[in-house]
Amino acid sequence: MHVILFLLAMFVPAVCFSQTLDIEKYEIRQEKAIIPLLIGAALVAVAVGIYTFLQMRKMQKKNQPKPNQLDGTIADEGTSFCDIAGSPHVHANITDIWGKSTQAIKKKSGGFLGVGKTSQVTGYRYYAKFAAFIGNRIEKFLGINFDNRKWILHDPKYYGPNFLQIYEPNLFGENEGGVAGVIDIHTGLPEPEPNPTYQQYFPLVSGYPYQSYLVFRGFSDPIDGQAYAAPAKSSFYLGNSGYMKEMLLWVKRIRVKNDGGKQWYDEKSEVGSGIQRYFPSDVYQPFQPTMAGTCSWIDPSGKHTVPWDAGTFPFIEVGQSYSYTYDYEKMEIVHQYKFPRSPGASDPSVVHMVSKYGMTMINEPFTKVAPLEWIGGTPKSDVMWGGAVIRSFKYSGLFFWGGGIFDAKLITTPGAKVEITTEDNTPIIAPFFTEQVDRVTASLYQQDLPKGIYKISVTIDGRYPSFENDYPPRPYAQMVLRGKTFTETEYEDINPIHKIREILTDDTAMGKPELDINDVNFIKAADRIWGEGLGISWAIDEKSCIDAIEELCYHIEAGVRVNRQSGLYEVVLFRDDWFEENEIHDIAENKIKDLSLEVMNSDDIVNQLNVTYYDRQRIKNSTFSVYENGSILTMGHANAESIDFPYFMNMRNAEIVANWKLKQYSTPAWKGTFTTGWREARKWNRYDLVKITWSKKWQGTILARIMKIDLGNGLNNEVMIDFEEVVPYSGEMNTSIVVDDSTEEKAEPAKPAIGETFEAPYYIAVQNIGQRKLDEELAYNQDVGFTFSTYRRPQWNALYAEITTANVDKPEDGWIVDGNAEFVTSGQFDQLVSRTTTQIPVKNLQIEGSLNQGDLIVVGSWIIGNVGQYEFMIIESFDTETSILTVKRGALDTIPFEWGVDTNFWLSNPENGLFSLTEYLAGQNVKASALTVTPSSKLEQLGSTPVYMRSRAIRPYPPANVKINGMFMPLYIEGGVQITWANRNRLQQTGGEMIGYFEGSVVLEPNTQTLLTIIGYDADGVVLSTQNANVTAVNTYTLPASSMDPNTRKINIVLRTVRDGYECLYPFTHDVLVSNLTAPQNVTFEVIEL
């Protein structure tokens, strides 16, 4: 273009020059002007021709295949992209954090019987607002999982498409707290508005078109204007640990493309739809079916009826707002009917009935029905005018019931009615119990309903009287259901053919025109994959387009090529029937110039594949193995290789493709290269099938797949073709599949957890609430005690155990929820354990964390029949190869016991398990129950175990390392008795290294006495003597034989500590036999030789 402008610049002055000449010399001068004119025109023509030629060459060069496309392969243009497709799990990328704050957690302590308690800060709750980016455009936000505890699902029916409210304040456990707040969901629309909360922090923030992200905020932000109690504040509640837990997001993008447009061939874009149902069998949930109806009312201007569009009717909401016009003067009234309904009323009927039947008021006890705007007249109450507004709400809708007991509770006021019928209005369910109190009715339902669709109808009408009079409240209906189908979750994957096409055409990837795609071919491939159900999901940060396409093809056994005749992109599925018979090529032997061959899999045939895939339901990689049994029997051994399917979300898809690949790996087949000068071979494409004849190696023909084509150069026009013999997919194989145990685990109802709740010793209590605070508690009441719980995980999907305790002597207090106990490492002894054994083989280890030197374990259980008998041990080492646990015996306030095979032990460090702040007194009859909680259920109250409160925290530790005549618990002794022991100190063992039973002595706890009792018995068990001694000042005691009755055959030794009237929990008690045999005297020996 610049050349043309230059030539025109030369040409125009030449023309202008000819027009400025004299008229007399016109002829000559005109002739001189024509010469440059002709030259200029010629140059312009040449320039235009050159420019046109260059543009044509440029277009030809642009459209012609790249050098590595000449054989039909896809050009690697170095393009990388990021993407979310299907329904994958994604890790959030937190970018901005603001609005950070803390809130002190205070708990009362001290005092006596509730009097004189003081508040003390025991921790902090942490809050923040933050933005978390997901990635490119998404279609739906399905849920979020904090710290792999459980999925908090987003249901647009309840929250809307761009909003999720979370209230899980104890998600991480009693001590760690949980999460609470609101998540704003931005799916990456082309022209989004900035998030208001984000914009308050950063005024210039973008709306981030085509970018999906979340904004976490508190409940009381002005966006929704709704305030909630702690721990939900203006910022998002993150827990009590001071750091942010890992978040896993569950998103979906299938039916929209990355650019926001509608998906190509949308009807076959989703593959493998499924549903997971959550069944909270332990709680009643508000029953909120989707219904539509009308609202009618009568006011001074007449009767009015307005429709209410389909939506979720929650039976009760918050507040009422009426706007009306009267005498052309605009007025606004906000009227909320609160309880108590009249001055001085302390027990309103609705509140009474709701509380009595274990229901909760939804968003406080106000009433609201469908929103509407009053038209004409004045909706005044009796106070404002002599009439009354009468309204009638009628709604109906259908709901699906999965079968089983329909267990519901309903509270209604006069003028409210709820009916459940079949679709044709046949009555199907009636309350089995009703109660009416002060014109408010409670109805209870329990009926076995078969699986099917049912109709629910709600009628709420009646007059709204003056709220200053003692009349029933406004019409009210609240229903809660022990639900069967609480939440339904979509499990869809994207068709990989759609994903391949999107990589080819999306402007953030390869950016090819849609016209470059063979649409008929891609539809054929999409139909086939959809029918096979081989959907994929992925979330990739950065990957080259070529790598991404190759990985997708690996998952579905396919290839992508550029057709050398049409120049269009095509997909070839490696299936036996993909090509028609007339599409398969045939080459005669005499047309092959030369051929080189080798046998695939000839050295060592692979007959086992170890397959890894992502299990979306279990949120982890899972594995299984596929075996070719015939090959294993023939070879005499298994030869394994590993393959990965990271984009398959279920075992079914991975199993199908793994079987296909195993057949290829385990079947010897030909591969090679041949050259030919046959012109027809130049028309072939990569991945085409060809029948090859080569009589030197096989009879007839083999069917081979073209893997590469080399067309040669200008000097040599021979075609070189790499091929592989086709192994039929449809053939039978003698295969078996072995699945890892963990892979077959499925979500199951909660099972009882094996563990212990016992009275906490002084050491564990100190480590949880502090020595100063505990000593203050004991100073007020020496008999106070706390419980400690440690439990083993009963199933793979168990989250924690909810620990509840109850004082049997005070049944009116009911069960108290102490908190959530995290599961701990546990196991069983694999042999009999004596009192002195320190190296113990263990089995059935369930590891929740490592077993470290200095860790504390507790042994014993009510299960073995010795209620209240426990022993603490200190881990010295654990040999993972031999499963030998080396321990110190009898730690803290316990002494060594004998333990049988299969005795349970649990890690019992103070930070493990659950320390409860519920205070009990000595002698109280306490029962404890552990309710296992899984993502879908909680164990029902099936039973309880006794916890004996014995003022354990105040009691002194017993004497340790007690030896009789230098031995620990000997069976018998000769002569006199010498007893030695070591002192222990309850206050000293609150920090540093804990000591075991058989270690040396420490300074005795102040004001503690050591008392010894020795009782002698004769052969018939008659008491011969009793000796009591205060041995506080020493660590040894000797009773010579001369001081013992000569008829003594057994002595009982009791060594204990006492302080301020409290005796140690486990005194040393042992019976030892006394031998009185003496050697014979004056005996003559005679030696006889044989």
Q: Tell me, yes or no, whether 620 lies in a domain.
A: yes
Question: What is the domain-level CATH number for residue 1042?
Answer: 2.60.40.10
Query: For residue 389, which of 475, 325, 294 has the smallest C-alpha distance?
Result: 475
Question: If you average pLDDT over each of 9-13, 289-293, 589-593, which comes out highest?
Answer: 589-593
What is the residue range of 232's domain? Answer: 88-253
Higher pLDDT, 147 or 862: 147
Per-residue pLDDT, 38? 58
Residue 1058 confidence class, pLDDT cut points 50, 70, 90: very high
Amino acid letter for position 1029: A
Question: If you average pLDDT over each of 28-42, 146-160, 839-853, which comes out highest?
Answer: 839-853
The predicted model gives 334-341 an average pLDDT of 32
The predicted model gives 795-820 an average pLDDT of 82
In sequence order, the β-bridge partners of residue 1074 are: 973
| pLDDT of 784 above 60 | yes
User: Which residues are CB-neighbours of 92 under 8 A, at least 6 positions away?
Assistant: 132, 133, 134, 214, 247, 249
Per-residue pLDDT, 911? 86
Share of the chain above pLDDT 90, in %: 36
Tens-place pLDDT, residues 102-114: 888 877 655 544 4
Per-residue pLDDT, 390? 53
Same domain, yes or no: 243 and 305:
no
Query: For residue 1016, which of 1039, 991, 1035 has the smallest C-alpha distance?
Result: 1039
In sequence order, the β-bridge partners of residue 628 are: 735
Cα 1007–chain centre separation: 53
Cα 894–chain centre separation: 40
Domain boundary among 213, 234, 253: 253
Same domain, yes or no: 924 and 784:
yes
The predicted model gives 791-813 an average pLDDT of 84
Neighbours of 429 (CB within 10 A): 17
Tens-place pLDDT, residues 660-708: 999 888 888 999 999 998 989 989 999 999 999 999 999 999 999 999 9
**493-494 vs 270-271, strand pairing mode:** antiparallel
Tens-place pLDDT, residues 570-611: 999 999 899 999 999 999 999 999 999 998 877 778 888 999
Same domain, yes or no: 865 and 839:
yes
Q: Tell me, yes or no, whether 260 lies in a domain.
A: no
Question: Given 3-state DSSP classes, what are the helix, strand and coil percentages for the chain, each rounded to the nearest 5?
Answer: 15, 40, 45
Residue 29 confidence class, pLDDT cut points 50, 70, 90: very low
Per-residue pLDDT, 796? 82
| pLDDT of 438 above 90 | no
Distance (Å, rounded) from C-alpha 698 to C-alpha 595? Answer: 13
SS3 (DSSP) at 515 = helix
Distance (Å, rounded) from C-alpha 692 to C-alpha 700? Answer: 8
Domain boundary among 740, 763, 796: 740
| pLDDT of 804 above 80 | yes
Half-sphere exposure of 878 (CA within 13 A, CB side): 19
Distance (Å, rounded) from C-alpha 235 to C-alpha 218? Answer: 4
Tens-place pLDDT, residues 238-249: 988 878 888 999
Residue-by-residue DSSP string for 918-948: --EETT-EEEEEEEEE-SS-B------EEEE
Tens-place pLDDT, residues 172-199: 876 788 898 899 999 999 889 999 999 9
Amino acid letter for position 31: E
Distance (Å, rounded) from C-alpha 525 to C-alpha 523? Answer: 5
Same domain, yes or no: 470 and 503:
no
Same domain, yes or no: 241 and 154:
yes
Residue 133 confidence class, pLDDT cut points 50, 70, 90: very high
Neighbours of 858 (CB within 10 A): 28
What is the four-CA torsion angle of 1034, 1040, 1045, 1047, rounded to 10 degrees? 120
**Phi, psi for 20 (deg, rounded to 5):** -100, 5
Residue 627 confidence class, pLDDT cut points 50, 70, 90: confident
Q: Tell me, yes or no, whether 278 lies in a domain.
A: no
Q: Tell me, yes or no, whether 480 lies in a domain.
A: yes
Same domain, yes or no: 446 and 528:
no
Per-residue pLDDT, 730? 62
Same domain, yes or no: 465 and 499:
no
Same domain, yes or no: 474 and 545:
no
Residue-by-residue DSSP string for 185-254: EE---SSPPPPHHHHHH-TT----TT-EEEEEE-TTSTTT-----TT--SSEEEESSSSPPPEEEEEEBS
Per-residue pLDDT, 957? 95
Same domain, yes or no: 878 and 968:
no
Higher pLDDT, 119 or 433: 433
Structure tokens at 1041: 């034989």
248 exposed, middle or buried (CB, 10 Å; 0-12, 13-18, 19+)? Answer: middle
Per-residue pLDDT, 1061? 92
Neighbours of 629 (CB within 10 A): 14
Per-residue pLDDT, 819? 85
Amino acid letter for position 614: Y
Structure tokens at 53: 């030629």
User: Which residues are CB-neighbours of 275 under 8 A, at least 6 positions away?
Assistant: 488, 489, 490, 491
Tens-place pLDDT, residues 833-860: 999 999 999 998 888 777 889 999 999 8
Tens-place pLDDT, residues 997-1038: 999 999 999 999 999 999 999 989 999 999 999 999 899 999
Domain boundary among 47, 63, 79: 63
pLDDT averaged over the chain? 78
Distance (Å, rounded) from C-alpha 964 to C-alpha 978? Answer: 6
Same domain, yes or no: 1023 and 942:
no
Higher pLDDT, 356 or 510: 510
Helix or strand (DSSP H, E) at 507: none
Residue 1076 CA: distances (Å) to CA of 831, 965, 1017, 1027? 36, 16, 13, 20
The predicted model gives 15-19 an average pLDDT of 40
SS3 (DSSP) at 839 = strand
Share of the chain above pLDDT 70, in %: 71
Contact (CB, 8 A) for 538 and 85: yes
Tens-place pLDDT, residues 261-275: 899 999 899 987 544
Distance (Å, rounded) from C-alpha 471 to C-alpha 764? Answer: 57
Higher pLDDT, 960 or 53: 960
Name which of 114-128, 442-456, 787-801, 959-973 the model is least confident about: 114-128
Q: Tell me, yes or no, whether 834 lies in a domain.
A: yes
Distance (Å, rounded) from C-alpha 954 to C-alpha 81? Answer: 66
Half-sphere exposure of 1002 (CA within 13 A, CB side): 20
Distance (Å, rounded) from C-alpha 23 to C-alpha 647? Answer: 88
Question: If you average pLDDT over each of 386-395, 420-429, 612-621, which comes out highest?
Answer: 612-621
Per-residue pLDDT, 315? 39
Per-residue pLDDT, 1078? 55
Q: Tell me, yes or no, whether 1084 lies in a domain.
A: no
Same domain, yes or no: 306 and 451:
yes
Same domain, yes or no: 249 and 290:
no
User: Which residues are CB-neighbours of 344 under 8 A, at least 6 positions away?
Assistant: none
Residue-by-residue DSSP string for 588-654: -GGG--EEEEEEET-SS---EEEEEEEETTTTEEEEEEEEEHHHHHHHSS--EEEEEETT--SHHHH
Neighbours of 765 (CB within 10 A): 25
Q: Tell me, yes or no, whether 669 lies in a domain.
A: yes
Tens-place pLDDT, residues 367-399: 333 333 333 333 333 222 334 445 566 777 766
Higher pLDDT, 41 or 886: 886
Residue 32 confidence class, pLDDT cut points 50, 70, 90: very low
Higher pLDDT, 911 or 277: 911
Per-residue pLDDT, 394? 74
Question: If you average pLDDT over each of 1-5, 16-20, 865-869, 1046-1050, which comes out highest?
Answer: 1046-1050
Structure tokens at 763: 């050491």
Query: For residue 184, which of 174, 196, 173 has the smallest C-alpha distance?
Result: 196
Distance from the first to the final alpha carbon of the chain: 135
Q: Tell me, yes or no, whether 258 lies in a domain.
A: no
Half-sphere exposure of 971 (CA within 13 A, CB side): 0
Cα 64–chain centre separation: 50
Per-residue pLDDT, 233? 64
Domain count, the chain: 6
| pLDDT of 541 above 50 | yes
| The residue count for the chain | 1090
364 exposed, middle or buried (CB, 10 Å; 0-12, 13-18, 19+)? Answer: exposed
